[in-house]
Every structure is written in C-alpha cells, then in structure tokens.
Amino acid sequence: MQLPTLVSNLPTPCLLLDINKLEANIKHLSEHIGALGGSLRPHVKTHKSIDVMRKVIEGGNTEGITVSTLKEADYFFENGVTDILYAVSISPDKLSHVQHLMMAGCDLKIILDNIDVAKLVASYGERNGICFKVLIELDTDNHRSGVDPEGDELIEIAAIIDGSKGTSMLGVMTHAGESYHCNTPESLLEISHLERDRSVLAADRLKDVKLPCPVVSIGSTPTALSIDDLKGITEVRAGVYTFFDLVMAGVGVCQHKDIALSVLASVIGFQHAKGWIITDGGWMALSRDRGTSGQTIDYGYGLVSTIDGHAVNNLIVRQANQEHGILSNLTTVNSVRPATLNIGSHVQVLPNHACSTASQYSKYYVVDGDHVIAEWDRINGW
C-alpha cells in the first residue's frame, strides 16, 4: 500500500510524529547534558522504535540505552543495540530471559533493590555459570521503589552482589519520579540536586567500605533538563523528552509547541445543545491517562491543537468513551463549536502522557508540516 502524502489523507484515528519537533527535542537535551560533561543513556520506553532511536543516536552524546521491558531489550538487541540497562527491578522468573540475551552477546544490566532478590540472582548465576551485571536501585525522593541511600540495606545488598561469582556489582541508579509533581524552575532544580546528591552519597558510602560502584546513573526528563552540575554522575537517563506531552508542559520543561506526538481524529458528529463535538478518537486512541488532572490546568484526555502546536478555540477532549471523544471548551462546557469544524474535519490531539498514548498504536506516521514523509513501526507489550 502506498504511503499517503498528506496528513489529510490519513485514516483516523492515527498517531502523528512531527519530525522537526522530534529532532529539536533530541538536540536540546543532548546539548544540555553534553555542556555539563555528561552522557545520555536514553530511555526507549516512550517511543519503542528503532527509527526514533536512530534519530536519538544521530543527535549525539549517547551511550547505550535504557529499557523498561525485556521485549524492548529483545527488539533493540535484534536491531543492533548491545549496551542495554533493564531499569525495572528484576524478578526471578525473568532471569532465564536475561541469561539468554547475555549469552547471545547482549551487554545487559539489571537492577534490584532488596536482599532477598540479590540472593536469588546471585544463586541463579552461580548455578548456571553466568555473572549478572547488577545496579542497586535507590530511593532518592520517596517516590516509588529503591533502597535508602543512607541505610544499612544498601551496604548489605552490595556485599551480597560483590561476594558472589554469579553477580557483579556495577553501581547505583535512581529515578526522581517526584519531579513530575514540580512546576517551577526552582523546585525542578532542587529535586535534580536531591537526585544527584543522594546518588553520589550512596556511591561514596559503598566506596568507603571498599565495595565497587563505577556507575552512578540518574534520570527523569524533568531533572535531566534542569540539572546544572553532574559532578559524580556517570550517566543520565531520560525518555519522554523525545516527544514531550501535556504533563511535561505542566511541569514546565517544555511548551505545547514542543510536543512532537499527536493523535489525528475525525469529527463524526455534534451535540449542539451541549456544545459537544464528537470525534472518532476515544480512550482507545488516546489512552485513559489523566495525568494533567492534578496539575494547574486539567486538559481532560488531551488538548486539540493545530499542526504547529497552537490550541484550537481552547478545545479539549473533555470526555472519552472507547471509540468516541467528546470535545468542548476548556473553560465553558456548553460552548459554540468553531465554524471551521464540520463532519469529516480532522483535529489533532496533544496527549497527556506520550508513553501511554503511543502504546495504543503499532506505528507512527512521521510528518513534516502537512506532508507524511515516513511510516515508522513500534513495538508494544512485554
């Protein structure tokens, strides 16, 4: 089937990726981290596409990748990427899969954050004659998982890893997820310092007791874009910066015009008395993510935008059913529909969370203005 040449000829709903915004976003973070003397281990969980990854590599200053699923590890390894960090705490049932990748030549690293798992991984490695490269996950901001950088468990876990032939102590890593709740430059800088300083502290504590810690890995898109000094840090991880989304705009690390990802939908009806515009872009097209609901501006299920990122008559996807999106004005529920929108008109919806919206699709239509220039596949699942 021939690729449509214009956005107006695409089937809806579908996923659009703006090539110019993508390249600008990649360049921005690469130059920022490079200016600080650091390097990026980009996270692929947002785009899950080797074509996007090639653009990231072209942007420079990268070393390896970060994945959130072993399916991602399989896919990127099959496409020539060998240096991979699997950045979700390992569970014992996945060790055989990790072993298979390692034996095939993949330089795969794993993470863990408790003594029981450390013992299980070490035992598995010893029994099967393989040595897993391990990083200890730190909790630097009370957000999710990880060990206390100042606690005894950090030392105990590292000693188990370093003391076994089945494991090798590679370092520490963290993800400052609380940065997603910030919305000022000052708060972003503060949490980026917290992430850095507590990670360096953990590394120093390990070195003080003669335990190895060559890697100190930090990262989230907000902190990566906000950090001003990487002393003691060996790598920075970030993922959603390639696309950005409304949550990142609410955090304050991008503007709407920087969001490279959108969903193209068609107007299929109206409820004039209610001021509703009905589209074929429901939550199956947009995802159920309501990440902006806790921010200063709640964009419902997404913001209706032009191709250059400007809001259209302040329209949002206020409600979403499985295959139906209901558009209305951000501030006035019973709004008058724009005269430019008729049955069959196309709208573009900027996503709340690029990762979850992209996961609804198997491919991107790559666009340059109104023109479709490529079709890039992506993977989903585990």
Q: Which CATH number does the domain housing residue 217 bear?
A: 3.20.20.10
Closest CA to 91 of 69, 107, 75, 106: 69
pLDDT of amino acid 346:
93
The β-bridge relationship of strands 363-368 and 14-18 is parallel
| Pair (221, 263) in one structural domain | no
| Pair (68, 201) in one structural domain | yes
- Tell me, yes or no, whether 200 lies in a domain: yes
| Pair (197, 316) in one structural domain | no
- Tell me, yes or no, whether 3 lies in a domain: no
- Tell me, yes or no, whether 103 lies in a domain: yes
| Pair (273, 335) in one structural domain | yes
pLDDT of amino acid 193:
97
Edge-to-edge strands of the sheet including 65-67?
65-67, 83-89, 107-112, 132-138, 167-174, 215-218, 235-236
In 3-state terms the chain splits into helix, strand, coil percentages (rounded to 5) of 35, 25, 40
| Pair (199, 55) in one structural domain | yes
| Pair (217, 102) in one structural domain | yes
Over the chain (382 residues), the average pLDDT of each successive run of 10 is 86 97 98 98 98 97 98 98 98 97 98 97 98 98 91 98 98 94 96 97 98 97 98 98 98 96 97 92 97 95 83 90 95 69 94 98 97 97 94
Range of the domain at 357: 256-377
- Tell me, yes or no, whether 164 lies in a domain: yes
- Tell me, yes or no, whether 109 lies in a domain: yes
Q: Which amino acid is at 70?
A: L
Q: How many domains is the chain partitioned into structurally?
A: 2
- Tell me, yes or no, whether 196 lies in a domain: yes
Q: What is the pTM of this model?
A: 0.95
Q: Answer with the one of 242, 276, 295 that is the final residue of a domain.
A: 242
DSSP codes joined into one string, 112-181? E-SHHHHHHHHHHHHHHT--EEEEEEE-SSSSSS-B-TTSHHHHHHHHHHHT-TTEEEEEEEE--GGGGG
pLDDT of amino acid 364:
98
